[in-house]
């Protein structure tokens, strides 16, 4: 249920690995929340690719073309400062980021920040204000390396990664500034049903990792062609069957997966909502 007007819940979707599904996941979370009448503001920190902003732009175009009333949030693209020396740039980044987030807190229930797949000052700032941090990882040991180096036989953690250290710093920062905590959720993405052995191994390794790096580990999304196909139309699985698109079994399975993801995230108010906003068509 839409709630406060002074403090939003900040969701950050991040990791330092490109192409792990951050923007795709972010888009599905945004539309899911909007469908339940939450007021959400989107910040795209990937000012080079702007994938999430472009996904939303495609949505706007699709809605206009097909005369559909699709929920579309306000989106802000924040670029890295390029002015002066490093200290100057850090100062500018911090000011721009802090000012924007402060403003968005005033009238959003949720602020969703999509990070680029590289380390940057803006991404660090985003992690330090997260209430919920979602890190999608592709289902392989290459991606697990993003969290820590694990022993190849026992899966015991040998060394934390730079990214895990960064989240650790962000958590310390949150604790010191407002005594807040970060709910860090690692979600598997592009899980293949064809490789049960790998699936099991990654699961075992993640279970072991959880003991050392404190995160919640959730099932996430399967590898499905449908996730790749929706981008040009700006649609999500949550939009079906409110569009003119044909609904297939794959859509239904994927929609279930998104529902489970939303429930697993445990965002404030999500499980309390009773009335779900229905998408309606513009009359032509
Ligand atoms: N579950 C999935 N099944 C199939 N394809 C997927 C899935 N999730 C994401 N993809 C595809 O993988 C590619 C990368 O996804 P996405 O852009 O969401 O990743 P990203 O982490 O935001 O990347 P970047 O680091 O470049 O910002 C896209 O082509 C997307 O359609
Ligand atoms: Mg992205």
Residue 158 lies in a domain: yes
Q: For residue 154, report the distance from its CA to the centre of ligand 2, in Å.
A: 33
On the question of pLDDT at 96 being above 60, the answer is yes
* Assigned domain for 1 exists: no
Instruction: Return the ligand 1 atom nearest residue 223 CA.
Output: 3
Q: How far is the CA of 188 from the centre of ligand 2 (A)?
A: 16
Atom of ligand 1 nearest to the CA of 19: 23
Q: Give domain status of residue 277, yes or no.
A: no
In a domain, 241, yes or no: yes
Distance of CA 50 from the midpoint of ligand 2 (Å): 7
Domain enclosing residue 222, as ranges: 9-272
**Confidence band, pLDDT 50/70/90 cuts, at residue 87:** confident
Burial class, 44, CB count within 10 angstroms (exposed 0-12 / middle 13-18 / buried 19+): buried
In a domain, 56, yes or no: yes
The ligand whose atoms approach the alpha carbon of 191 most closely is 1
Do residues 47 and 80 lie in contact, with contact meaning Cβ atoms separated by under 8 Å? Answer: yes
Which of 25-29, 111-115, 205-209 shows the lowest per-residue confidence on average (mean pLDDT)?
205-209
Per-residue pLDDT at 1 exceeds 80 = no
CB burial class (10 A; 0-12, 13-18, 19+) of residue 249?
A: exposed
Q: Does the beta carbon of 19 lie inside 6 Å of ligand 1?
A: yes
CB of 190 within 6 A of ligand 1: the answer is yes
Tell me the pLDDT of the chain averaged across its residues: 89
Quote the CA–CA distance of 263 and 127 in Å, as a whole number: 22
- Is position 283 within any domain? no
Using a 10 angstrom Cβ sphere, with 0-12 exposed, 13-18 middle and 19 or more buried, the burial of residue 178 is: exposed
Name the band, by pLDDT with cuts 50, 70 and 90, for residue 141.
confident
Q: Which of 42, 136, 220, 228 to mutate to test the pocket of ligand 1 (most atoms within 8 A of CB)?
A: 228
**CATH code (residue 153):** 3.40.50.300
Reported as a single tens digit per residue, the pLDDT across 171-201 is: 999 999 989 999 999 999 998 877 788 888 8
Of 22, 24, 187, 251, best ligand 1 pocket probe by most atoms within 8 Å of the beta carbon:
24
Domain count along the chain: 1
Is 41 a member of any domain? yes
**Partners of 74 in the β-ladder:** 41
Which one is predicted more confidently, 10 or 5?
Answer: 10
Ligand 2 centroid to residue 282 C-alpha, Å: 31
Strand 9-13 and strand 183-189: the pairing is unpaired
């Amino acid at each position: 249920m839409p709630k406060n007007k002074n403090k939003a819940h900040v969701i950050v979707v991040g990791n330092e690995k490109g192409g792990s599904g951050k923007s795709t996941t972010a888009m599905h979370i945004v539309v899911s929340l909007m469908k339940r009448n939450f007021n959400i503001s989107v910040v795209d920190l990937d000012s080079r690719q702007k994938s999430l902003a472009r996904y939303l732009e495609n949505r706007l175009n699709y809605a206009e073309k097909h005369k559909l009333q699709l929920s579309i949030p306000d989106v802000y693209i924040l670029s890295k400062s390029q002015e002066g020396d490093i200290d100057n740039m850090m100062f500018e980044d911090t000011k721009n980021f802090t000012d924007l987030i402060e403003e968005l807190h005033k009238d959003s229930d949720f602020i969703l920040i999509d990070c680029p797949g590289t380390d940057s000052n803006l991404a660090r700032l985003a992690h330090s204000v997260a209430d919920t941090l979602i890190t999608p990882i592709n289902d392989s040991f290459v991606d697990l390396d993003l969290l820590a180096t694990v022993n190849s036989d026992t899966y015991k953690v040998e060394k934390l990664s730079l990214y895990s250290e960064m989240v650790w710093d962000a958590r310390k920062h949150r604790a010191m500034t407002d005594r807040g905590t970060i709910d860090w959720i690692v979600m598997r993405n592009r899980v293949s049903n064809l490789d049960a052995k790998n699936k099991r191994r990654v699961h075992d390794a993640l279970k072991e990792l959880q003991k050392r790096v404190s995160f919640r580990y959730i099932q996430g999304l399967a590898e499905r062609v449908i996730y790749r196909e929706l981008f040009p139309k700006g649609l999500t699985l949550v939009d079906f069957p409110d569009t003119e698109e044909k609904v297939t079994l794959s859509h239904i399975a994927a929609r279930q997966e998104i529902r489970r993801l939303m429930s697993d995230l445990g965002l404030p108010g999500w499980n309390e909502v009773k009335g779900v906003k229905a998408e309606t068509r513009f009359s032509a």
